[in-house]
Structure 1
Amino acid sequence: MTHNVAILGASGYTGAELVRLIAQHPNIDIKALSGERKAGMAMADVFPHLRHMDLPILCKIDEIDFSQIDLCFCALPHKTSQEVIAALPKDLKIVDLSADFRLRDPDEYEKWYGNKHAALAQQGEAVYGLTEFYRDEIRGARLVAGTGCNAATGQFALRPLISAGVIDLDEIILDLKCAVSGAGRSLKENLLHAELSEGYNAYAIGSTHRHLGEFDQEFSKLAGRPVKVQFTPHLMPVNRGILATVYVKGDAQVIHDTLAVAYADEPFLQVLPFGEAPSTHHVRGSNYCHIGVAADRIEGRAIVFAALDNLTKGSSGQALQNANLMLGEKEEEGLTMAPLFP
């Protein structure tokens, strides 16, 4: 069975990544692509690396006939996304890649994103899109909220450990490095090559990074009590990738064994041999996440690592993985490509 999909916000990085991934899917056809500022342009002109594909011309959202669409990917900025989704047909399946439906509490959304939620009915039905932990709910969902890429990386490193009670929940330090594509495609002065290259800096320091809302929500739900991690993201002058280094209190071998058992049957989550650390090089352009564990020199402490591609497993690959479940397709369909190396 062939499923027709639309991609809203196709002129951004995650939209282009969705196109690249869906091109390998035997049962999904792209019927509509929107790009408000680039409406009327061919995708080949916006993204020349896609010129070999026969794709619809970019259009405005109100020009799309959604009666012909089975599922819609929404790759729009937060705030814009909730307004657009609220106006879409009520029976249309949607995978949202923005932040608008990730937080279940509207007050928490306003706290982290600075504006009241404008689509409370849709927020109430949204399922959190971390596939490996919500796949049963995702299968029956109409609206799935894709996670933040940083939030996904940290959760892959920590969720099984919190559930199993093998680490001290008050002693979690998450140090994360992320690529510049995570900031989107809009022009920003601090992301110009001359200002970003050959440098490395922390940002959103302390309690200001919005993905902290997801960590608080998900880790506290797992633990059954409030859990707050220390989290500092750093911007790397590279195009793709996230590397999380997590410092925890617990037995390193037990931590490794817990993760290995938890992810033994997961096709995209690979736990490395004890003592090995992953590299963003080894997951680039793929839907895989590599996880490593090493003992710290301080007895009773361990270091957990997680590496993934922020545009793929952290966003568009996760979105297609969720769409596969929603459409009754095999979860891995279109996503088993090997990483690019070097």
Structure 2
Amino acid sequence: MTRSSFIKKSPKTSRNWSLNKTVHICSSMGPSGSGKKTLIMALLRQIFGISAEKVKVENRTWKIDAGSRTIDLELTTLSSTNHVELSPSDAGFQDRYIVQEIIKEMAKNRPIDTKGRKGYKVLVLNEVDKLSREAQHSLRRTMEKYSASCRLILCCNSSSKVTEAIRSRCLNVRINAPKEDQIVKVLEFIGKKEGLQLPPGFAARVADKSNRSLRRAILSFETCRVQQYPFSSNQAIPPMDWEEYVSEICSDMMREQSPKRLFQVRGKLYELLINCIPPEIILKLLSELLKKLDEELKHEVCHWAAYYEHRMRMGQKAIFHLEAFVAKFMSVYKAFLIETFG
């Protein structure tokens, strides 16, 4: 199921939205898999027509003058004739250079309008909530300076991590996670388009396992189709590979508490991060641990999970804080075992 087919069916495209002079910046926020990027593409399609979907992927390298040294930054962009989509947070702690130089360079270039009117370029910035404070301050200045030739669409999961200075300059649009019955309708629509026969209740079971993420529901649906078709009414809905890996990590942490085991768990955490699993999601292994812990320990483990999640959001290297949480858990759990069983 392609994104364009969702765009054509989306009821939100019927709104008379336009990025005119009164709306320079639009902010789309909501949980992962709720449809933020689909709505953004629907908006661009309504403004620019079919050309908004004719995009190309570019890997470009910029040379940034940082005072006493020159920094080479490589960034992947997705662009059409009227818009550019990028994720400045991919540059890590150097994201401020992306905002200060690269976005500024893109914002300066106004597209040619053959009808004699002044056109504008749309910049879609993903994961704005992951930008550093310095990058967000630089983005605010860029938004103000180049508002005549550029319109910005900011996309994020949580607006609480975006500075008030940026939020106050945006038209904020909250995209709620779809309800399970809405996900069921989408899966049934996909099945109809693909000519698939769905047993009664099968789509509802997939939606129940999706945690209200439409992206995850569609991926699970595709996995079930690959593993077994025709579908059966009692067919197992496979979990994500990374979820099984996290469950394995939880078992390792509870089976043995030692420096050797900590080193092994660290390697598995690296494996998850390398495969682009967000560290916040990895820390949700807490939910797996809580299923196996005594009531006495649940409160303390929740406290330390929240503590290291806060430190992880404030810091840069997620692996340090994930490993620290694992070490703390091992220490607390081993002390509990010694006290209980001697």
TM-score interval for Structure 1 and Structure 2 normalised by the shorter chain: under 0.3
Structure having the larger proportion of residues in helix: 2
TM norm structure 1:
0.25
Larger Rg: 2
Specify which structure has the bigger relative contact order, considering alpha-carbon pairs within 8 angstroms and separated by 6 or more residues: 1
TM norm structure 2:
0.25
Structure having the larger proportion of residues in strand: 1
